[in-house]
């Protein structure tokens, strides 16, 4: 069984994607809390030693450092035979939603939440722009989940874990109360939270938290 070390910070939905997948596959990992708020990931030393891309998360598998959640999730799904695609058509759908999530949903939600909640005085024009884009992306997801129980069909996959990671944080952080604004997304989040062994980000990722300004 491989040994895992996850470099993370608790508010990182990207870290949560990997922590959740490992947990649901029955794998333990050593949590390596990283001082993202203190700016360590911007230092040349950290980039040289941990991740030249300057990003969290980093997953060490038997000492090999892996980055970028989408290919890591695909690798874990294949390795453990869980939450992946069962044929070529499903694989295409999985990649389609993973790419969309990285570019649109996670990309904008992570930025919006960070600016809104964890920075001292966010620029209202920037927040407004991000929120408008997000409203559109969330409506795309809402329409899709009105027709489909999970991202690519009737069972949960890594595409769901990728897309739900930033949406499951408290409304006080995301600025969205999905139960009111997006009932299909809210019901889907509930279906994922009901999976055996599911835990929230703040249950899986311990340690010092970023200061919240809202």
**What sign has the CA pseudo-torsion 101, 104, 105, 107?**
positive
Interface pattern 141-170 for ligand GSH (x via CB under 6 A): ------------------------------
Beta carbon of residue 183, minimum distance to ligand GSH (angstroms, whole number): 28
Nearer to ligand GSH, 68 or 186 (CB): 68
Nearest Cα neighbor of 69 from 206, 174, 163, 154 is 163
Gyration radius from the chain CA atoms: 17
Would you count residue 174 as binding ligand GSH (CB under 6 A)? no
Residues 89-128 that bind ligand GSH (CB under 6 A): 102, 110
Residue 174 preceded by cis peptide, ω within 30? no
Residue 29 in contact with residue 6, Cβ under 8 Å?
Answer: yes
Using CB under 6 A as the binding criterion, the count of chain residues that bind ligand GSH stands at 11
Environment class of 132 (CB within 10 Å of its CB; exposed 0-12, middle 13-18, buried 19+): exposed
Residues 2-61 that bind ligand GSH (CB under 6 A): 12, 14, 41, 54-56
Beta carbon of residue 85, minimum distance to ligand GSH (angstroms, whole number): 19
Residues forming contacts to ligand GSH in the complex (CB under 6 A) are: 12, 14, 41, 54-56, 68-70, 102, 110
């Amino acid at each position: 069984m491989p040994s895992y070390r996850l470099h993370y910070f608790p508010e990182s939905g990207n870290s949560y994607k990997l922590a959740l997948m490992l947990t649901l596959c029955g794998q333990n990992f050593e949590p390596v809390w990283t001082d993202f708020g203190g700016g360590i990931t911007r230092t040349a030393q950290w980039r040289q030693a941990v991740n030249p891309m300057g990003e969290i998360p980093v997953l060490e598998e038997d000492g090999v450092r892996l980055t970028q959640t989408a290919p890591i999730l695909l690798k874990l799904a294949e390795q453990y035979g869980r939450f992946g695609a069962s044929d070529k058509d499903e694989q295409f759908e999985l990649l389609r939603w993973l790419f969309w999530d990285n570019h649109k949903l996670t990309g904008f939600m992570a930025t919006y939440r960070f600016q809104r909640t964890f920075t001292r005085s966010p620029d209202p024009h920037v927040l407004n722009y991000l929120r408008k884009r997000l409203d559109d992306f969330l409506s795309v997801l809402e329409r899709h989940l009105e027709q489909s129980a999970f991202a690519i069909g009737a069972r949960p996959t890594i595409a769901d874990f990728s897309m739900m990671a930033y949406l499951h944080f408290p409304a006080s952080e995301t600025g969205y109360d999905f139960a009111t604004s997006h009932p299909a997304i809210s019901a889907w989040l509930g279906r994922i939270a009901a999976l055996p062994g599911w835990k929230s980000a703040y249950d899986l990722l311990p340690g010092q938290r970023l200061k919240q300004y809202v």
